[in-house]
Amino acid sequence: MFTFNDIVRLQESELIAELKAGRESAFRTLVETYQNKVYNTALAIVQQPEEAEDLAQDVFVEVYQTIRQFREEAKLTTWLYRITTSKALAHLRKRKAQKRFSRITSLFGVNNEVLHDPPDFHHPGVSLEQRETMSLLFKAIEKLADTQKVAFVLHYMEEQSHREIAEVMQMSVSAVESLLHRAKQHLRKQLTPFYNERKNP
């Protein structure tokens, strides 16, 4: 008797086979099924909606171009998250490099942050009441080391298990747990003053 997971794997295997055969309908299904996951993951890392949209498109273009090389050693979602996080981090590195070499120094603060970035960045699904807190959280996430950032986003925003994250990041489960622990420590340190201020206005 098939379990739900068996059915999901069977459907995924069929979709992959259709993609490898070059079926346009299969590619449309792929985009419709996973575009929100890909976009939200990219957005949580780069924190710029337009850049996240461009990255999401790049992810699906790469999938379309390289699907025949996909050996199915991991789940399709794992592969998608791996491509997405890799592209998002590469984009961040490129952005930081552009900042470092920019001659328009008046646009930057003492910590090299872009002063003209939109201050009202919000992630999909965040209620109005939560926006102030979430805005501070995303600013804190932005300061995390790249690997901590990826692990945190995948676990707490995309609800991926430690094992699934380990597959995406190609590391051990214990290494993922360590990254999440350090990420939470850093975030707690950055956000504690804010919460203390709210408790004692």
The reply to whether 16 and 90 lie within a common domain is yes
Give the pLDDT band of residue 154 (cuts 50, 70, 90).
Answer: very high
Predicted pLDDT at 55 = 96
Residue 159 backbone class (left: φ over 0; alpha: ψ -120 to 50; beta: rest): left
Same-domain check for residues 56 and 15: yes
> Average per-residue pLDDT in the chain?
80
Q: What are the pLDDT digits (tens) for 80-108? A: 999 999 999 999 888 776 655 443 333 33
Burial of 101 (0-12, 13-18, 19+ CB in 10 A): exposed
Tell me how many domains the chain contains. Answer: 2
Which domain CATH number covers 187?
A: 1.10.10.10
114: helix, coil or strand? strand
Q: Is residue 54 part of a domain?
A: yes
Over residues 26-44, the pLDDT tens digits come to: 899 999 999 999 999 999 9
Q: Do 7 and 101 share a domain, yes or no?
A: yes
Task: Based on the fold, state whether residues 94 and 5 are members of the same structural domain.
Answer: yes
Q: Which domain holds residue 191?
A: 119-201
Residues 132 and 64 in one domain: no
